[in-house]
Structures are given as C-alpha cells and as structure tokens.
C-alpha cells in the first residue's frame, strides 16, 4: 500500500492484487479484534470502510478535522455565498466531509481556484488571439486612405 502526505492530508492507495488480498485479511482481523477487545462500533465501521475502499482499488484520504473549513469560512475565502459552496460541493468542484454539518477540505478549494485561474488564462489568451485576428482583418478591409474624397457619397433617402 502506498501512502502520501500532502499538507495534513494522508492519501492511501493499493497498487497490487496481493495488497488487496492482505487488506481483506486485515479486515477480518479487525472484526475479530472488535469481538475480542470490544472497541467502539464506529471505529470498526470506519476501519471497515477504509479497507473496503482500498480493496476496491479506490484512493482513500484521511484529513485532520482541525484542518477542515466550515461552509461559511469557505464562502468567505472564495467570495461567494454559502449556497454556492453547497452547489460546488454537489457538483464535485470542491471536496468535503459530512461531520457535524459539511466541512470543506481546504486543499480542494486551492485546487479549484487554480483550475479556474487556468481556465480564465486560457480564455483570455483565446480572446486576445481573436482580437488580433479581427484587427488584422479590419486593416485589410478598411481603405488605406483617410481622405474624404476616397469615400463615395451615399444617398440614404
């Protein structure tokens, strides 16, 4: 199993079938340990979830709860409303954890802002190219002289 730490976020993933098989054995030991030691049911559920997702080949991240932002704090950081944050979460733009209400993973907000900045930069670059093309085409269409006798009189009646 590989593990990576990025800012207070631990990410785990399984790289082989053998590792997935080992995880199933660990899960079985946890169930036995719960019966023998009698540790908390919620802890058992959390560990089962963790190992099930890893065995499925999914990546699991563990985030320190003190490093999570409230929806209000996230909205303030992004300069948007709370309902917008909920919509962003539902669309998958940002990641969150449902604890006592929704808590947002700050690194996902930073990633979202970076993606948006990249999109804006590309759009501005494309607009600049279009603007340059239009200016070049306009120069070809417009007459070369600015003198009044170059233009024909147009009767608008």
Length of the chain: 157
- Asked if residue 50 lies in contact with residue 60, where contact means CB atoms within 8 angstroms, the answer is yes
Query: What 3-state DSSP class applies to 99?
Result: strand
pLDDT along the chain (157 residues), means of 10: 49 62 76 74 78 76 71 90 92 84 84 89 94 83 58 59
Where are the domains positioned within the chain? 1-63, 66-141
Please report the pLDDT score of residue 129 as a whole number. 93
In the block, which residue shows the tokens 């993973």?
105
| pLDDT tens column, 125-148 | 999 999 998 888 877 766 565 555
- Identify each DSSP E strand in the chain by its residue range: 2-6, 9-13, 60-63, 69-70, 96-99, 101-104
């Amino acid at each position: 199993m590989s593990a990576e730490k990025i800012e207070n976020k631990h990410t785990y993933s399984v790289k082989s079938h053998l590792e997935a098989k080992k995880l199933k054995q660990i899960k079985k030991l946890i169930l036995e340990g719960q019966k023998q030691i009698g540790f908390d049911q919620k802890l058992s559920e959390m560990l089962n979830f963790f190992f099930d997702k890893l065995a499925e080949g999914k990546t699991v991240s563990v985030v320190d709860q003190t490093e999570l932002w409230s929806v209000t704090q996230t909205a303030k950081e992004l300069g948007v409303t709370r309902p917008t944050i909920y919509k962003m979460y539902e669309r998958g733009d940002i990641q969150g954890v449902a604890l006592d209400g929704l808590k947002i993973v700050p690194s996902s907000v930073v990633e979202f802002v970076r993606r948006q900045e990249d999109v804006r930069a590309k759009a501005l670059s494309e607009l600049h190219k279009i603007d340059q093309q239009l200016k070049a085409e306009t120069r070809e269409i417009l007459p070369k002289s600015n003198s009044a006798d170059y233009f024909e009189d147009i009767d608008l009646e």
